[in-house]
A and B are shown apart, each in its own frame.
Chain A
Amino acid sequence: NAGVTQTPKFQVLKTGQSMTLQCAQDMNHNSMYWYRQDPGMGLRLIYYSASEGTTDKGEVPNGYNVSRLNKREFSLRLESAAPSQTSVYFCASEDISYEQYFGPGTRLTVT
Protein backbone atom coordinates (compact mmCIF):
# COMPACT_ATOMS: atom_id res chain seq x y z
CA ASN A 1 0.00 0.00 0.00
CA ALA A 2 1.89 3.07 -1.23
CA GLY A 3 -0.77 5.62 -0.17
CA VAL A 4 -0.41 8.83 -2.18
CA THR A 5 2.55 9.09 -4.53
CA GLN A 6 3.77 12.17 -6.37
CA THR A 7 6.28 12.63 -9.13
CA PRO A 8 8.66 14.31 -9.51
CA LYS A 9 10.02 15.15 -6.05
CA PHE A 10 11.99 18.13 -7.32
CA GLN A 11 11.80 20.17 -10.52
CA VAL A 12 13.43 23.32 -11.85
CA LEU A 13 11.74 25.09 -14.77
CA LYS A 14 12.51 28.16 -16.77
CA THR A 15 9.81 30.81 -17.10
CA GLY A 16 7.41 29.82 -19.86
CA GLN A 17 8.10 26.10 -19.75
CA SER A 18 5.30 23.64 -19.12
CA MET A 19 5.14 20.56 -16.98
CA THR A 20 2.72 18.11 -15.40
CA LEU A 21 2.84 17.00 -11.78
CA GLN A 22 1.59 13.47 -11.35
CA CYS A 23 -0.35 12.12 -8.39
CA ALA A 24 -1.74 8.66 -7.74
CA GLN A 25 -3.47 7.00 -4.79
CA ASP A 26 -4.15 3.33 -4.16
CA MET A 27 -6.74 3.71 -1.38
CA ASN A 28 -9.80 3.80 -3.63
CA HIS A 29 -10.67 7.31 -2.46
CA ASN A 30 -13.15 9.37 -4.44
CA SER A 31 -11.84 12.84 -3.59
CA MET A 32 -8.43 14.18 -4.53
CA TYR A 33 -6.81 17.59 -4.04
CA TRP A 34 -3.92 19.74 -5.16
CA TYR A 35 -2.44 22.30 -2.75
CA ARG A 36 0.47 24.67 -2.87
CA GLN A 37 2.47 25.63 0.21
CA ASP A 38 4.39 28.89 0.38
CA PRO A 39 6.36 30.19 3.36
CA GLY A 40 4.08 31.87 5.88
CA MET A 41 0.95 31.07 3.85
CA GLY A 42 -0.05 27.60 4.99
CA LEU A 43 -1.61 25.32 2.37
CA ARG A 44 -3.86 26.79 -0.29
CA LEU A 45 -6.15 24.73 -2.46
CA ILE A 46 -5.53 24.92 -6.20
CA TYR A 47 -8.04 22.40 -7.58
CA TYR A 48 -9.94 19.42 -6.32
CA SER A 49 -11.86 16.49 -7.71
CA ALA A 50 -14.77 15.12 -5.71
CA SER A 51 -15.07 12.07 -7.95
CA GLU A 52 -13.78 10.60 -11.16
CA GLY A 53 -14.70 12.86 -14.05
CA THR A 54 -15.26 16.04 -11.99
CA THR A 55 -12.91 18.86 -11.11
CA ASP A 56 -13.45 22.19 -9.37
CA LYS A 57 -11.41 25.30 -8.71
CA GLY A 58 -10.03 26.04 -5.30
CA GLU A 59 -8.66 29.24 -3.83
CA VAL A 60 -5.73 29.78 -6.24
CA PRO A 61 -6.47 28.08 -9.61
CA ASN A 62 -5.01 30.68 -12.00
CA GLY A 63 -2.14 29.35 -14.10
CA TYR A 64 -3.03 25.70 -13.50
CA ASN A 65 -5.11 22.97 -15.10
CA VAL A 66 -5.97 19.55 -13.78
CA SER A 67 -7.06 16.18 -15.11
CA ARG A 68 -8.74 13.40 -13.18
CA LEU A 69 -7.62 10.64 -15.45
CA ASN A 70 -9.30 7.87 -13.49
CA LYS A 71 -10.11 7.17 -9.87
CA ARG A 72 -6.45 6.70 -8.98
CA GLU A 73 -4.77 9.58 -10.78
CA PHE A 74 -5.09 13.36 -10.54
CA SER A 75 -2.54 15.46 -12.44
CA LEU A 76 -1.71 19.16 -12.22
CA ARG A 77 -0.42 21.00 -15.27
CA LEU A 78 1.44 24.28 -15.51
CA GLU A 79 1.09 25.45 -19.11
CA SER A 80 3.49 28.40 -18.91
CA ALA A 81 5.40 28.45 -15.64
CA ALA A 82 6.01 31.74 -13.84
CA PRO A 83 8.36 32.53 -10.93
CA SER A 84 5.26 33.11 -8.76
CA GLN A 85 4.54 29.39 -9.11
CA THR A 86 7.71 28.49 -7.23
CA SER A 87 6.30 26.50 -4.33
CA VAL A 88 5.89 23.09 -2.77
CA TYR A 89 2.95 21.21 -4.26
CA PHE A 90 1.03 18.59 -2.33
CA CYS A 91 -1.50 16.14 -3.63
CA ALA A 92 -3.98 14.58 -1.20
CA SER A 93 -6.80 12.07 -1.27
CA GLU A 94 -9.62 11.80 1.24
CA ASP A 95 -11.45 8.93 2.85
CA ILE A 96 -15.12 8.84 3.79
CA SER A 97 -14.41 10.18 7.28
CA TYR A 98 -12.87 13.32 5.75
CA GLU A 99 -9.31 12.46 6.72
CA GLN A 100 -6.92 13.64 4.01
CA TYR A 101 -3.81 11.66 3.17
CA PHE A 102 -1.01 13.67 1.65
CA GLY A 103 1.71 12.78 -0.80
CA PRO A 104 5.35 13.64 -0.07
CA GLY A 105 5.23 16.87 -2.08
CA THR A 106 6.96 18.28 -5.17
CA ARG A 107 9.38 21.15 -4.71
CA LEU A 108 9.14 23.32 -7.83
CA THR A 109 11.43 26.22 -8.65
CA VAL A 110 10.72 28.49 -11.61
CA THR A 111 13.63 30.71 -12.66
Chain B
Amino acid sequence: AQKITQTQPGMFVQEKEAVTLDCTYDTSDQSYGLFWYKQPSSGEMIFLIYQGSYDEQNATEGRYSLNFQKARKSANLVISASQLGDSAMYFCAMRDRNSGYSTLTFGKGTMLLVSP
Protein backbone atom coordinates (compact mmCIF):
# COMPACT_ATOMS: atom_id res chain seq x y z
CA ALA B 1 0.00 0.00 0.00
CA GLN B 2 1.17 3.50 -0.72
CA LYS B 3 2.31 5.39 2.31
CA ILE B 4 1.41 8.76 0.82
CA THR B 5 -1.50 9.17 -1.56
CA GLN B 6 -2.21 12.29 -3.56
CA THR B 7 -5.37 11.55 -5.52
CA GLN B 8 -5.46 14.72 -7.61
CA PRO B 9 -3.06 14.54 -10.57
CA GLY B 10 -4.02 18.09 -11.52
CA MET B 11 -5.95 21.00 -10.06
CA PHE B 12 -7.09 24.28 -11.58
CA VAL B 13 -7.84 27.44 -9.63
CA GLN B 14 -8.44 31.06 -10.49
CA GLU B 15 -6.17 33.72 -9.18
CA LYS B 16 -7.13 35.02 -5.69
CA GLU B 17 -9.20 31.94 -4.89
CA ALA B 18 -8.29 29.36 -2.27
CA VAL B 19 -7.40 25.79 -3.22
CA THR B 20 -6.99 22.57 -1.25
CA LEU B 21 -4.54 19.88 -2.31
CA ASP B 22 -5.31 16.49 -0.82
CA CYS B 23 -2.92 14.14 0.91
CA THR B 24 -3.66 10.98 2.84
CA TYR B 25 -1.05 8.89 4.57
CA ASP B 26 -0.67 5.43 5.99
CA THR B 27 1.29 4.72 9.13
CA SER B 28 0.88 2.70 12.29
CA ASP B 29 3.18 5.02 14.22
CA GLN B 30 1.99 7.56 16.74
CA SER B 31 4.95 9.83 16.10
CA TYR B 32 5.46 11.09 12.56
CA GLY B 33 5.94 14.24 10.55
CA LEU B 34 4.21 15.51 7.44
CA PHE B 35 5.72 17.88 4.90
CA TRP B 36 4.69 19.74 1.77
CA TYR B 37 7.12 20.74 -0.96
CA LYS B 38 6.61 22.85 -4.08
CA GLN B 39 8.36 22.18 -7.37
CA PRO B 40 8.00 24.98 -9.95
CA SER B 41 8.73 24.37 -13.62
CA SER B 42 12.34 25.40 -13.01
CA GLY B 43 12.73 22.12 -11.13
CA GLU B 44 13.95 23.03 -7.66
CA MET B 45 12.21 21.61 -4.58
CA ILE B 46 11.02 24.22 -2.09
CA PHE B 47 9.94 23.37 1.45
CA LEU B 48 6.56 24.88 2.33
CA ILE B 49 5.22 23.61 5.63
CA TYR B 50 5.62 20.95 8.32
CA GLN B 51 3.14 19.31 10.72
CA GLY B 52 4.14 17.03 13.55
CA SER B 53 1.72 14.32 14.61
CA TYR B 54 1.61 15.65 18.17
CA ASP B 55 1.11 19.26 17.15
CA GLU B 56 -2.27 20.37 18.44
CA GLN B 57 -2.61 23.29 16.11
CA ASN B 58 -2.68 23.11 12.33
CA ALA B 59 0.56 24.45 10.85
CA THR B 60 0.47 27.75 9.00
CA GLU B 61 3.10 29.59 6.97
CA GLY B 62 1.88 32.76 5.33
CA ARG B 63 -0.69 31.80 2.69
CA TYR B 64 -0.11 28.09 3.30
CA SER B 65 -1.90 26.11 5.95
CA LEU B 66 -2.10 22.41 6.63
CA ASN B 67 -5.53 20.95 7.40
CA PHE B 68 -4.43 18.08 9.62
CA GLN B 69 -7.09 15.48 10.44
CA LYS B 70 -5.33 12.79 12.39
CA ALA B 71 -8.22 10.35 12.68
CA ARG B 72 -8.75 10.44 8.93
CA LYS B 73 -4.99 10.36 8.29
CA SER B 74 -5.17 13.35 6.03
CA ALA B 75 -2.87 16.35 5.74
CA ASN B 76 -4.31 18.61 3.09
CA LEU B 77 -2.49 21.75 1.97
CA VAL B 78 -4.61 24.87 1.72
CA ILE B 79 -3.32 27.78 -0.33
CA SER B 80 -5.27 30.97 0.23
CA ALA B 81 -5.49 33.81 -2.29
CA SER B 82 -3.78 31.88 -5.09
CA GLN B 83 -1.20 33.71 -7.19
CA LEU B 84 0.06 32.95 -10.69
CA GLY B 85 3.41 32.04 -9.15
CA ASP B 86 1.73 29.21 -7.25
CA SER B 87 1.48 27.21 -10.47
CA ALA B 88 3.74 24.24 -9.75
CA MET B 89 3.89 20.61 -8.74
CA TYR B 90 3.15 20.00 -5.06
CA PHE B 91 4.40 16.99 -3.12
CA CYS B 92 3.25 15.67 0.23
CA ALA B 93 5.81 13.67 2.22
CA MET B 94 6.01 11.80 5.52
CA ARG B 95 8.64 10.68 7.96
CA ASP B 96 7.79 7.91 10.41
CA ARG B 97 9.33 5.17 12.55
CA ASN B 98 9.28 2.64 9.71
CA SER B 99 11.79 4.79 7.93
CA GLY B 100 13.78 5.12 11.14
CA TYR B 101 12.76 8.74 11.18
CA SER B 102 15.69 9.16 8.80
CA THR B 103 14.01 9.41 5.46
CA LEU B 104 11.07 11.02 3.71
CA THR B 105 8.51 9.13 1.65
CA PHE B 106 6.96 11.28 -1.07
CA GLY B 107 3.60 11.11 -2.80
CA LYS B 108 3.35 11.29 -6.57
CA GLY B 109 2.40 14.94 -6.57
CA THR B 110 -0.39 17.25 -7.71
CA MET B 111 0.07 19.74 -10.52
CA LEU B 112 -1.60 23.06 -9.69
CA LEU B 113 -2.37 25.57 -12.42
CA VAL B 114 -3.47 29.06 -11.45
CA SER B 115 -5.28 31.04 -14.14
CA PRO B 116 -5.72 34.83 -14.31
The residues of A with any CB-CB pair to B shorter than 8 Å are: 31, 33, 35, 40-45, 48, 50, 56, 58-59, 88, 90, 92, 97-102, 104-105
The residues of B with any CB-CB pair to A shorter than 8 Å are: 4, 33, 35, 43-47, 50, 91, 93, 95, 102-109
Residues of A within 8 A of B109 (CB): 42
Quick one: which of B45, B91, B105, B106 has the most chain A CB within 10 A?
A: B45
The CA-CA distance from A48 to B99 in the complex, in Å, is 11
Q: Which of the residues B43, B46, B91, B95 comes within 8 Å of A98, measured between beta carbons?
A: B95
The CA-CA distance from A99 to B45 in the complex, in Å, is 12
Q: Tell me the interface secondary structure of chain B in the complex.
A: strand
State how many angstroms separate the Cβ of A108 from the closest Cβ of chain B: 13
The CA-CA distance from A33 to B46 in the complex, in Å, is 15
Q: Which 10 A-B pairs have the closest CB atoms?
A: A102-B45, A42-B106, A42-B108, A43-B106, A105-B43, A99-B47, A45-B103, A42-B109, A50-B102, A104-B44
Residues of B within 8 A of A101 (CB): 47
Residues of B within 8 A of A41 (CB): 108
Is the Cβ of B44 less than 8 Å from the Cβ of A42? no
Q: A104-B43, A104-B44 known; A42 and B107 CB under 8 Å?
A: yes
Is the Cβ of A40 less than 8 Å from the Cβ of B47? no
